[in-house]
Amino acid sequence: ESRSLMPPMAVDKQRLLPLFVLALVTACLVSGGEEPARFQIPRDGSVVELDEGNFEAAVAAVDFLFVDFHAPWCGHCKRLSPQLDEAAPVLSGLSTPIVVAKVNAEKYKKLRSKYGVDGFPTLMLFDHGVPTEYTGSRKAGQLVESLRKLVAPDVSVLKSDAAIKSFVQEAGVGFPLFIGFGVDESSIAEYGARYKKKAWFSTAKDFSEDLMAVYDFDKIPALVSLNPKYNEQSVFYGPFEVHVFPGLMIIAMIFVDAGTFLEDFIRQSLLPMTVPINAETVKMLKDDDRKVVLAVLQDDSDETSMRLIKILRSAANANHDLVFGYVGVNQWEEFTEPFHDSKSSQLPKLVVWDKDEKYEVSVHIIYVCL
């Protein structure tokens, strides 16, 4: 194929200008201009090391980025590291992937200052670039469940029996679940956001009578609470919303009552009916303003204790204004010390615990004979 070539001196100046600009830009990049940092998501789901050069690129490239700001000398950080290594591949394989990364915040002080890191390790979840500090469990399994919960919708909308079953199965046992059968999403959206860190929320639009039997409700709307960890289930039939009638002055009071009843049910369902007192549940109790009827036992797994716990469960079912819990001296002696003088008091016994941080409270003691 023949082509006509223009003599060198006859090159069109208007065509030459863009080429000159392109060459100038290329020269600048090569000779000192810095190309924007790029971030490559690891295919194997491993933990990524970030620094001041690629951190912002990672935040921009990943919808959900979980970052461990650590220091080389930090003992807690060293213990956390294998948990992150175990959790990272699982998190990256979720339907909503989460990338796990580390930053040496002792070395990269600009990042430490920018994100207000004042202790190690500090864990943050970047949700489309917006950071939120993570204070939940650091064990790999619970970490996965907690983060999966945080990246889920506040309220999931389920449109079939299969979707409902899948939702319950995928939620696992780490958190309570609330399913609003025939409940409008707007009625529980506020609570789905408020209690996002503590429970799963959903509404079910289409479901069979067979599923109504499974979840033990006979009319709609109904909000079913499930606590798989403790094999507990309960139902709330409303009120869920207020119908406004013009001219009536009592609407505000009705609105307050409707919201109060619904939120009370949700808050009470976050805990099991009888609470085993341990480090995890003590944290949960701090967010509950009810007094605790506490059974102090020698061993919470012996036959006598099992009978008392069964009695507590019956009492809890009839007294929702109180929390009923139990703790064994053999299981957590340090916790029981304010309630139990091992030299002079007998067990089991019940105390009314009006919580504070030091557990220094006045208690009313009832000795239990079983």
User: 323-328 and 292-297 as β-strands: parallel, antiparallel, unpaired?
Assistant: parallel
**Candidate list 60, 61, 74, 151, residue with the active-site label:** 74
How far is the C-alpha of 174 from the C-alpha of 150, rounded, in Å?
13
Q: Has 369 been annotated as catalytic?
A: no
Q: Are 66 and 123 in contact (CB under 8 A)?
A: yes
Name the amino acid, one letter, at 168. V
Structure tokens at 179: 């399913």
Structure tokens at 296: 């102090």
Cα-Cα-Cα-Cα dihedral of 176, 179, 185, 190, to 10°? -20
Q: Are 288 and 319 in contact (CB under 8 A)?
A: no
Closest CA to 260 of 238, 287, 292: 238
**Candidate list 77, 140, 150, 155, residue with the active-site label:** 77
Q: Has 28 been annotated as catalytic?
A: no
Instruction: Encode 168-191 in three state secondary structure.
Output: HHHHCCCCCEEEEECCCHHHHHHH
If you write DSSP's letter for every residue of 62-99 in order, what string do you get?
-SEEEEEEE-TT-HHHHHHHHHHHHHHHHHHTSSS--E
Known catalytic residues?
74, 77
